[in-house]
Amino acid sequence: MTTSISVSSKAQSNGWSHSFWDCCSPAKIGFLGWCCPCVLYGKAQSQFNARDSERSIYLNSDCCLYAATHACGLHWVFLSRERGKIRKRYGIEGGTFSDCVQAACCSCCTLIQQEKEIEKRSRVSQEGYQQPTEMAYPQP
């Protein structure tokens, strides 16, 4: 008799890896998000678009665009748009409305959460395939 066990990838959570409200750790990302959000936005976009954390650049056109829109109060538009792209690429649940509300109400928390998600997911994709450890079943 053969027993088949199937494991679904849906068993894993399709949510964000880090809480929306966890915006103070690590301190470097928290500091950039609260004091220099345009720099963190530029870094996140560089890393997200290049898919290579080694080449992420802090000061770039995305940084300048975010700074200009922040001065006009329209930065949340770019944040919510990028949040949607991140959700789509990584299969994270959510919708456009929640993206807009979070980006408009607390742009720093949104930006920090996005940066941490991009960092984590790009690190996992760079590690490549990891052979699973052997599983041992108890004898009946």
Tell me if 4 is assigned to some domain: no
pTM above 0.95, yes or no: no
Question: Can you read off the two tokens belonging to residue 97?
Answer: 């409305």
**Nearest Cα to Cα of residue 56 among 46, 66, 45:** 46
pLDDT tens, the chain, 140 aa long: 444 443 333 434 589 999 988 888 889 999 999 999 999 999 998 888 874 455 567 788 899 999 999 999 999 998 999 999 999 999 999 999 999 999 999 999 999 999 999 989 887 665 555 566 666 667 76
Contacts of 82 (CB under 8 A, 6+ apart): 44, 45, 48, 114
Please name the residue that has the structure tokens 């930006």. 111
Rounded to 5 degrees, what angle do the CA atoms 108, 58, 83 make?
45
Any domain includes 129: no
Please tell me the distance from the alpha carbon of residue 63 to that of residue 41, in angstroms, as a whole number: 6
What is the per-residue pLDDT for 136? 66
The domain tally of the chain equals 1
> Does residue 7 lie in a domain region?
no
Q: Is residue 22 part of a domain?
A: no
Q: Which residue segment(s) compose the domain that 38 sits in? A: 27-124
Asked if residue 9 is part of any domain, the answer here is no
pLDDT at 108: 93
70 within domain boundaries = yes
13 occurs within a structural domain: no
- Distance in angstroms (rounded) separating the CA atoms of residues 111 and 38: 10
- 136: tokens are 């041992």
User: What was the pLDDT predicted at 98?
Assistant: 94
Q: Residue 20: name the closest of 118, 112, 123 by CA.
A: 112
Domain-located, residue 31: yes
